[in-house]
Structure 1
């Protein structure tokens, strides 16, 4: 069994709850309202997720198509749709996440949320997971505004370690895509791969200790009290 870490870092909203298709639908609704002839299908969107960051995805797609758009306004419309869809459909924690969080807290293992998504999306996730997980469970919560570079840059992980006062080897990260896993590895943090729907079957980089469809306390050296 792995040695108990001092901190477990959830690296993305997708390590907590599956939202890929809700977000894809939200992008398409925002594009429709803006009068754009854009539509992101499931396979195309899965490919786009190789580059983290919703605003960056919009900007790259606009450049590719020779379109001029207000990236910030378009992304804000997407977030508004995402909030509505999340409230309508409901969000649930992914398999095993609740157990890992509960046992980590019981064992004195600190929790971090090392995401580089926008703060508005972070707020939305916690609002829609009320009763399942809360901000108070985490000793560190990141967002895009706290760093100069999004993942796969390791900057957010280095910031998390500095905030927690720990070294990289004191922690274990959880990531849902190979690109984001690279950020943890480049920061020197051991990583568990927990691929979401859009990343299943993809190859995670060397240095990822385990690939899991369901998180288990044993992945982190956590034990239930006798």
Structure 2
């Protein structure tokens, strides 16, 4: 059985600018922290995989002193975890409000894949509660139960390391040749390629200028037919797939068996140890 694996943020919905960024800043305000990330600053922070990891970039000695934070590493880790729990609550409330729309084509192509007997999954190192809220928004009550969800800290290394995709393949019982990934960032693409997966990129607000050498197809979105009529513009098509105004499941099926993409990525994910999955993955088996 082939599988279609989606990243979450930037793929299912363009959540970074209108969801995560304000949630981080509201959290900082509530905890009395002397920082608010600007749009330009956050464009750099999104290159760091994982919300807690982004928060930890703040923890310079000067910031710790200015914020009156504990110097003990264990106590500081507990503080970051508390920030992140609150940030996740704020973010899921934003998503629940329905103010951030799904990206064009994601529900259409997931529905086509399900009809054709493909397995569906989301593989993201964002917090599981955040991922599930976006998945429900993007896919609706009929499709959501058919998705496996691999999220949060189920692996130690975050993207661009390939761990989350290797973990998902293992839990789904799939070989890389039988799956296609949809990503929106260079880090996500590198993670997919590192796991031996073909990767389609749909660029998002913070990633449009990134280097996607190695992706099998790069488009502005998956597109939607009328009445929405959102046209998918091709940015890179090294395999000559030549999708029409909307990327179709047949376009993705061409990529099965092509392995880690259409070329060699400029750099590989860091090799800082073996894959380190966490104790369990929260998932719903496709049915």
Report the RMSD for the aligned CA atoms in angstroms: 2.0
**Counterpart check, 1:192 vs 2:200:** yes
What is the aligned partner in structure 2 of residue 101 from structure 1? 110
**Separation in 2 of the partners of 1:147 and 1:14?**
21
Q: For residues 132-211 of structure 1, what are the structure 2 equivalents within 5 Å?
A: 134-138=143-147, 140-204=148-212, 206-211=213-218
SS at match of 1:162: helix
**Does the CA contact (< 8 Å) of 2:136 and 2:144 recur in 1?**
no
Q: For residues 1-226 of structure 1, what are the structure 2 equivalents within 5 Å?
A: 6-21=2-17, 22-63=19-60, 65-67=62-64, 68=69, 70-129=79-138, 131=140, 134-138=143-147, 140-204=148-212, 206-215=213-222, 216-217=247-248, 218-221=250-253
Instruction: Compare relative contact order (CA 8 Å, sep 6+) and give the higher one, 1 or 2.
Output: 1
Deviations 1:117-167 (A, max 9, x none): 1112123324544636643121x3101232122111111111111122221
Return the offset for 1:98: 1.4
Runs of 4+ in structure 1 deviating by more than 6 angstroms, as ranges, are none
Return the offset for 1:11: 2.1
Structure 1: tracts of 5 or more residues without a match: none
**Separation in 1 of the partners of 2:128 and 2:107?**
22
The alpha-carbon distance between structure 1 residues 92 and 186, as it changes in their structure 2 partners (threshold 3 A), is: same
Structure 2: tracts of 5 or more residues without a match: 70-75, 223-246, 255-287
Count of aligned pairs:
216
**Separation in 2 of the partners of 1:209 and 1:175?**
11
**Does the CA contact (< 8 Å) of 1:16 and 1:94 recur in 2?**
yes
Higher helix share: 1
TM-score by length of 2: 0.70
**Does the CA contact (< 8 Å) of 1:126 and 1:133 recur in 2?**
no
SS at match of 1:196: coil
The alpha-carbon distance between structure 1 residues 34 and 163, as it changes in their structure 2 partners (threshold 3 A), is: same
Return the offset for 1:14: 2.3
